[in-house]
Amino acid sequence: MPRKEEEEVQTAALVSHAGGPDGGELGAIEPEPIDFEDELLASLDETVLPNDAREAVVRELRTAQMELRAVFLCYSSERDLLVAPADGELAIEDSQPNAKAMPLATWKQLCADCGIDGLSEVDEAFAASASGVKESAPVLDEVQFYGALVRLAGRLADAAGITKSLYTLLYECILPFARREGTTTISQVLSSRSYLLPYLEEIRASFSGFGVSWEQWLKLWPQLKLAGLPGFPFWERQVFSALSNNLGVLLRIFSYYAKQTLKRLLGAGMGTASAGANAIGAVASGAGSKQHTSGMTLVIGKHEWLAFVRDCKLFSKKLVRTAEDH
Protein backbone atom coordinates (compact mmCIF):
# COMPACT_ATOMS: atom_id res chain seq x y z
CA MET A 1 0.00 0.00 0.00
CA PRO A 2 1.52 3.38 -1.03
CA ARG A 3 2.39 5.72 1.85
CA LYS A 4 -0.23 8.30 0.84
CA GLU A 5 -2.97 5.67 0.93
CA GLU A 6 -1.68 4.39 4.28
CA GLU A 7 -1.86 7.89 5.73
CA GLU A 8 -5.45 8.26 4.48
CA VAL A 9 -6.43 4.96 6.11
CA GLN A 10 -4.67 5.95 9.34
CA THR A 11 -6.42 9.31 9.41
CA ALA A 12 -9.83 7.74 8.75
CA ALA A 13 -9.30 5.23 11.55
CA LEU A 14 -8.54 7.88 14.17
CA VAL A 15 -11.17 10.33 12.94
CA SER A 16 -13.85 7.62 12.96
CA HIS A 17 -12.83 6.79 16.50
CA ALA A 18 -13.25 10.44 17.46
CA GLY A 19 -16.91 10.37 16.46
CA GLY A 20 -19.30 7.76 15.08
CA PRO A 21 -21.76 8.22 12.22
CA ASP A 22 -24.23 9.98 14.53
CA GLY A 23 -21.60 12.11 16.21
CA GLY A 24 -21.24 9.75 19.15
CA GLU A 25 -17.97 8.22 20.25
CA LEU A 26 -16.99 4.74 19.21
CA GLY A 27 -15.85 2.17 21.72
CA ALA A 28 -12.33 0.83 22.03
CA ILE A 29 -11.09 -1.02 18.97
CA GLU A 30 -9.72 -4.29 20.32
CA PRO A 31 -7.22 -6.47 18.40
CA GLU A 32 -8.26 -9.90 17.20
CA PRO A 33 -7.58 -12.90 19.49
CA ILE A 34 -4.58 -15.09 18.68
CA ASP A 35 -5.54 -18.40 17.05
CA PHE A 36 -3.69 -20.49 19.64
CA GLU A 37 -4.38 -18.20 22.62
CA ASP A 38 -5.85 -20.89 24.92
CA GLU A 39 -2.94 -23.23 24.25
CA LEU A 40 -0.45 -20.43 24.92
CA LEU A 41 -2.04 -19.45 28.22
CA ALA A 42 -2.23 -23.08 29.32
CA SER A 43 1.54 -23.35 28.87
CA LEU A 44 2.22 -20.34 31.11
CA ASP A 45 1.45 -21.00 34.77
CA GLU A 46 1.11 -18.31 37.41
CA THR A 47 4.78 -18.40 38.31
CA VAL A 48 5.60 -17.33 34.74
CA LEU A 49 2.61 -15.10 34.04
CA PRO A 50 0.79 -13.86 37.17
CA ASN A 51 -2.99 -13.85 36.97
CA ASP A 52 -3.21 -10.10 37.50
CA ALA A 53 -1.00 -9.50 34.43
CA ARG A 54 -2.57 -12.03 32.03
CA GLU A 55 -5.11 -9.74 30.44
CA ALA A 56 -2.58 -6.96 29.78
CA VAL A 57 0.05 -9.36 28.41
CA VAL A 58 -2.44 -11.07 26.09
CA ARG A 59 -3.53 -7.67 24.81
CA GLU A 60 0.06 -6.75 23.98
CA LEU A 61 0.56 -10.02 22.11
CA ARG A 62 -2.72 -9.62 20.23
CA THR A 63 -1.79 -6.10 19.18
CA ALA A 64 1.56 -7.16 17.74
CA GLN A 65 0.60 -10.63 16.47
CA MET A 66 0.87 -9.86 12.73
CA GLU A 67 4.42 -8.58 13.08
CA LEU A 68 5.40 -11.35 15.50
CA ARG A 69 4.18 -13.97 13.06
CA ALA A 70 6.25 -12.35 10.30
CA VAL A 71 9.31 -12.45 12.55
CA PHE A 72 8.70 -16.10 13.45
CA LEU A 73 8.32 -17.13 9.81
CA CYS A 74 11.49 -15.30 8.88
CA TYR A 75 13.65 -16.96 11.54
CA SER A 76 12.09 -20.44 11.44
CA SER A 77 12.54 -23.29 9.01
CA GLU A 78 10.50 -26.30 7.95
CA ARG A 79 11.14 -29.54 9.79
CA ASP A 80 9.21 -32.53 11.14
CA LEU A 81 8.24 -32.11 14.79
CA LEU A 82 7.50 -34.88 17.25
CA VAL A 83 5.32 -33.54 20.02
CA ALA A 84 4.90 -35.56 23.21
CA PRO A 85 1.23 -36.33 23.92
CA ALA A 86 -0.28 -36.26 27.39
CA ASP A 87 0.29 -39.98 27.97
CA GLY A 88 3.95 -39.68 27.10
CA GLU A 89 3.73 -42.26 24.27
CA LEU A 90 4.76 -41.08 20.82
CA ALA A 91 2.79 -42.27 17.78
CA ILE A 92 2.87 -41.53 14.06
CA GLU A 93 -0.11 -39.19 14.34
CA ASP A 94 1.83 -37.11 16.86
CA SER A 95 4.19 -36.01 14.11
CA GLN A 96 3.80 -32.58 12.49
CA PRO A 97 5.40 -32.86 9.02
CA ASN A 98 6.96 -29.75 7.48
CA ALA A 99 5.98 -27.60 10.46
CA LYS A 100 7.70 -24.27 10.96
CA ALA A 101 10.13 -24.35 13.86
CA MET A 102 12.85 -22.16 15.37
CA PRO A 103 15.98 -23.93 16.72
CA LEU A 104 18.09 -22.54 19.54
CA ALA A 105 20.75 -21.12 17.22
CA THR A 106 18.14 -19.13 15.30
CA TRP A 107 16.43 -17.95 18.50
CA LYS A 108 19.80 -16.67 19.70
CA GLN A 109 20.38 -15.02 16.31
CA LEU A 110 17.04 -13.22 16.64
CA CYS A 111 18.00 -12.00 20.10
CA ALA A 112 21.42 -10.92 18.80
CA ASP A 113 19.83 -8.99 15.93
CA CYS A 114 17.66 -7.19 18.49
CA GLY A 115 20.49 -6.37 20.90
CA ILE A 116 19.54 -8.74 23.71
CA ASP A 117 22.13 -11.45 23.15
CA GLY A 118 24.70 -12.68 25.66
CA LEU A 119 22.14 -13.06 28.46
CA SER A 120 21.52 -16.27 30.34
CA GLU A 121 17.81 -15.40 30.30
CA VAL A 122 17.77 -15.92 26.52
CA ASP A 123 18.79 -19.57 26.85
CA GLU A 124 16.58 -20.12 29.89
CA ALA A 125 13.46 -18.81 28.11
CA PHE A 126 14.15 -21.08 25.13
CA ALA A 127 14.76 -24.18 27.26
CA ALA A 128 11.61 -23.67 29.32
CA SER A 129 9.41 -23.04 26.27
CA ALA A 130 10.79 -25.85 24.07
CA SER A 131 10.52 -28.53 26.75
CA GLY A 132 7.46 -30.11 25.10
CA VAL A 133 9.31 -30.97 21.88
CA LYS A 134 10.90 -34.42 21.88
CA GLU A 135 13.87 -34.05 19.56
CA SER A 136 17.61 -34.31 19.90
CA ALA A 137 17.75 -30.61 19.06
CA PRO A 138 14.76 -28.83 20.68
CA VAL A 139 12.95 -26.18 18.67
CA LEU A 140 10.14 -23.67 19.14
CA ASP A 141 6.90 -23.87 17.22
CA GLU A 142 4.85 -20.69 16.89
CA VAL A 143 2.97 -21.15 20.18
CA GLN A 144 6.20 -21.83 22.02
CA PHE A 145 7.82 -18.82 20.34
CA TYR A 146 5.18 -16.57 21.91
CA GLY A 147 5.71 -18.38 25.19
CA ALA A 148 9.46 -17.84 24.99
CA LEU A 149 8.91 -14.10 24.48
CA VAL A 150 6.68 -13.93 27.57
CA ARG A 151 9.17 -15.96 29.62
CA LEU A 152 12.05 -13.76 28.46
CA ALA A 153 10.09 -10.63 29.35
CA GLY A 154 9.32 -12.10 32.76
CA ARG A 155 12.96 -12.95 33.46
CA LEU A 156 14.08 -9.47 32.41
CA ALA A 157 11.29 -7.64 34.27
CA ASP A 158 12.11 -5.16 37.01
CA ALA A 159 9.82 -3.61 39.60
CA ALA A 160 7.56 -2.27 36.82
CA GLY A 161 6.39 -5.82 36.12
CA ILE A 162 6.13 -8.20 33.20
CA THR A 163 3.69 -6.10 31.15
CA LYS A 164 6.10 -3.15 30.94
CA SER A 165 8.96 -5.54 30.26
CA LEU A 166 7.05 -7.21 27.41
CA TYR A 167 6.19 -3.81 25.91
CA THR A 168 9.89 -2.88 25.96
CA LEU A 169 10.91 -6.24 24.49
CA LEU A 170 8.38 -6.03 21.64
CA TYR A 171 8.45 -2.35 20.69
CA GLU A 172 12.03 -1.38 21.50
CA CYS A 173 13.83 -4.61 20.57
CA ILE A 174 12.01 -7.28 18.54
CA LEU A 175 9.74 -5.33 16.19
CA PRO A 176 12.06 -2.48 15.13
CA PHE A 177 15.17 -4.58 14.55
CA ALA A 178 14.20 -8.17 13.71
CA ARG A 179 14.37 -9.33 10.11
CA ARG A 180 11.09 -10.04 8.34
CA GLU A 181 10.06 -12.32 5.55
CA GLY A 182 9.93 -10.31 2.36
CA THR A 183 6.59 -11.74 1.23
CA THR A 184 4.73 -10.71 4.38
CA THR A 185 2.46 -7.71 3.93
CA ILE A 186 3.69 -5.59 6.81
CA SER A 187 1.77 -2.58 5.49
CA GLN A 188 -1.40 -4.26 6.74
CA VAL A 189 -0.13 -3.72 10.27
CA LEU A 190 0.88 -0.13 9.68
CA SER A 191 -2.27 0.91 7.86
CA SER A 192 -4.52 -0.46 10.59
CA ARG A 193 -2.77 1.57 13.34
CA SER A 194 -3.11 -1.54 15.47
CA TYR A 195 -0.36 -0.39 17.84
CA LEU A 196 -2.35 2.66 18.93
CA LEU A 197 -6.08 2.08 18.48
CA PRO A 198 -6.65 -0.53 21.21
CA TYR A 199 -5.24 1.82 23.84
CA LEU A 200 -6.99 5.09 23.00
CA GLU A 201 -9.55 4.91 25.79
CA GLU A 202 -6.87 4.31 28.41
CA ILE A 203 -4.80 7.23 27.12
CA ARG A 204 -7.86 9.47 27.07
CA ALA A 205 -8.35 9.02 30.83
CA SER A 206 -5.24 11.15 31.45
CA PHE A 207 -5.65 13.54 28.50
CA SER A 208 -4.99 17.23 29.18
CA GLY A 209 -5.91 19.44 26.25
CA PHE A 210 -5.90 23.09 27.47
CA GLY A 211 -8.89 23.97 25.29
CA VAL A 212 -8.23 21.31 22.64
CA SER A 213 -10.82 18.53 22.77
CA TRP A 214 -9.93 14.84 22.56
CA GLU A 215 -11.71 14.62 19.21
CA GLN A 216 -9.67 17.53 17.83
CA TRP A 217 -6.47 15.91 19.08
CA LEU A 218 -7.31 12.60 17.37
CA LYS A 219 -7.89 14.43 14.08
CA LEU A 220 -4.65 16.39 14.48
CA TRP A 221 -2.37 13.44 15.29
CA PRO A 222 -2.39 11.79 11.81
CA GLN A 223 -1.31 15.14 10.32
CA LEU A 224 2.04 14.90 12.09
CA LYS A 225 4.60 13.61 9.60
CA LEU A 226 6.12 10.82 11.66
CA ALA A 227 6.53 8.02 9.10
CA GLY A 228 10.07 9.14 8.19
CA LEU A 229 11.35 8.95 11.77
CA PRO A 230 13.44 5.90 12.77
CA GLY A 231 11.46 3.18 14.49
CA PHE A 232 7.99 4.46 13.56
CA PRO A 233 5.33 3.23 14.31
CA PHE A 234 6.67 1.00 17.09
CA TRP A 235 7.10 3.91 19.52
CA GLU A 236 3.90 5.64 18.45
CA ARG A 237 1.75 4.58 21.39
CA GLN A 238 4.31 5.68 23.98
CA VAL A 239 4.88 9.06 22.33
CA PHE A 240 1.16 9.66 21.72
CA SER A 241 0.43 8.82 25.36
CA ALA A 242 3.15 11.17 26.67
CA LEU A 243 1.97 14.03 24.45
CA SER A 244 -1.68 13.43 25.35
CA ASN A 245 -0.89 13.54 29.06
CA ASN A 246 1.02 16.81 28.72
CA LEU A 247 -0.64 18.52 25.76
CA GLY A 248 -1.99 21.38 27.89
CA VAL A 249 1.46 22.21 29.26
CA LEU A 250 3.07 21.92 25.83
CA LEU A 251 0.48 24.28 24.32
CA ARG A 252 1.22 26.84 27.03
CA ILE A 253 4.94 26.58 26.32
CA PHE A 254 4.35 26.90 22.57
CA SER A 255 2.10 29.91 23.13
CA TYR A 256 4.73 31.69 25.22
CA TYR A 257 7.58 31.31 22.71
CA ALA A 258 5.32 31.97 19.71
CA LYS A 259 4.23 35.27 21.29
CA GLN A 260 7.89 36.14 21.78
CA THR A 261 8.40 35.60 18.06
CA LEU A 262 5.43 37.84 17.30
CA LYS A 263 6.71 40.62 19.59
CA ARG A 264 10.19 40.43 18.07
CA LEU A 265 8.93 40.69 14.51
CA LEU A 266 6.48 43.49 15.29
CA GLY A 267 9.15 45.43 17.16
CA ALA A 268 11.98 44.98 14.67
CA GLY A 269 11.06 47.73 12.25
CA MET A 270 8.09 45.87 10.79
CA GLY A 271 5.96 48.97 11.14
CA THR A 272 2.31 48.01 10.99
CA ALA A 273 0.59 44.96 12.38
CA SER A 274 -0.20 43.81 8.83
CA ALA A 275 3.50 43.85 7.98
CA GLY A 276 4.15 41.83 11.10
CA ALA A 277 1.46 39.40 10.04
CA ASN A 278 3.13 38.98 6.65
CA ALA A 279 6.44 38.32 8.41
CA ILE A 280 4.80 35.70 10.61
CA GLY A 281 3.32 34.12 7.50
CA ALA A 282 6.77 34.02 5.92
CA VAL A 283 8.19 32.26 8.99
CA ALA A 284 5.34 29.74 8.91
CA SER A 285 5.85 29.15 5.20
CA GLY A 286 9.57 28.63 5.73
CA ALA A 287 8.79 26.03 8.38
CA GLY A 288 6.76 24.05 5.89
CA SER A 289 3.31 25.29 6.90
CA LYS A 290 0.61 24.91 4.25
CA GLN A 291 -1.73 27.28 6.06
CA HIS A 292 -2.20 30.72 4.48
CA THR A 293 -4.46 33.11 6.31
CA SER A 294 -4.91 36.84 6.44
CA GLY A 295 -4.68 36.74 10.24
CA MET A 296 -1.64 36.17 12.39
CA THR A 297 -0.52 32.57 12.68
CA LEU A 298 1.44 31.80 15.81
CA VAL A 299 4.74 30.14 15.04
CA ILE A 300 8.07 29.81 16.83
CA GLY A 301 10.99 31.49 15.09
CA LYS A 302 14.59 30.28 15.10
CA HIS A 303 15.69 32.68 17.84
CA GLU A 304 12.84 31.64 20.12
CA TRP A 305 13.47 27.96 19.44
CA LEU A 306 17.09 28.38 20.51
CA ALA A 307 15.89 30.27 23.58
CA PHE A 308 13.58 27.36 24.40
CA VAL A 309 16.49 24.92 24.04
CA ARG A 310 18.64 27.10 26.31
CA ASP A 311 15.90 27.62 28.91
CA CYS A 312 15.26 23.88 29.14
CA LYS A 313 19.00 23.04 29.07
CA LEU A 314 18.45 20.82 26.03
CA PHE A 315 21.88 21.46 24.61
CA SER A 316 22.26 19.28 21.54
CA LYS A 317 23.72 19.85 18.11
CA LYS A 318 20.73 18.00 16.66
CA LEU A 319 18.26 20.46 18.18
CA VAL A 320 20.26 23.44 16.95
CA ARG A 321 20.51 21.85 13.49
CA THR A 322 16.71 21.41 13.46
CA ALA A 323 16.28 25.15 13.94
CA GLU A 324 18.84 25.96 11.25
CA ASP A 325 17.11 23.62 8.80
CA HIS A 326 13.86 25.53 9.26
Domain locations along the chain: 32-193, 244-325
Burial (Cβ within 10 Å: 0-12, 13-18, ≥19) of residue 132: middle
- Nearest to residue 61, comparing CAs of 79, 83, 39? 39
Measured between alpha carbons, how far is 210 from 40 in angstroms, rounded to an integer?
44
Q: How far is CA 125 from CA 19, 38, 130, in A?
A: 44, 20, 9
Starting at the edge strand that comes first in sequence, how are the strands of the sheet with 95-103 ordered? 77-82, 95-103, 139-140
Model confidence pLDDT, tens digit, residues 255-305: 999 999 988 888 875 544 555 555 555 444 444 444 443 455 788 998 898
Model confidence pLDDT, tens digit, residues 181-232: 655 444 444 444 457 777 888 888 889 888 888 888 888 888 888 877 877 7
Measured between alpha carbons, how far is 205 from 52 in angstroms, rounded to an integer?
21
pTM of this structure? 0.65
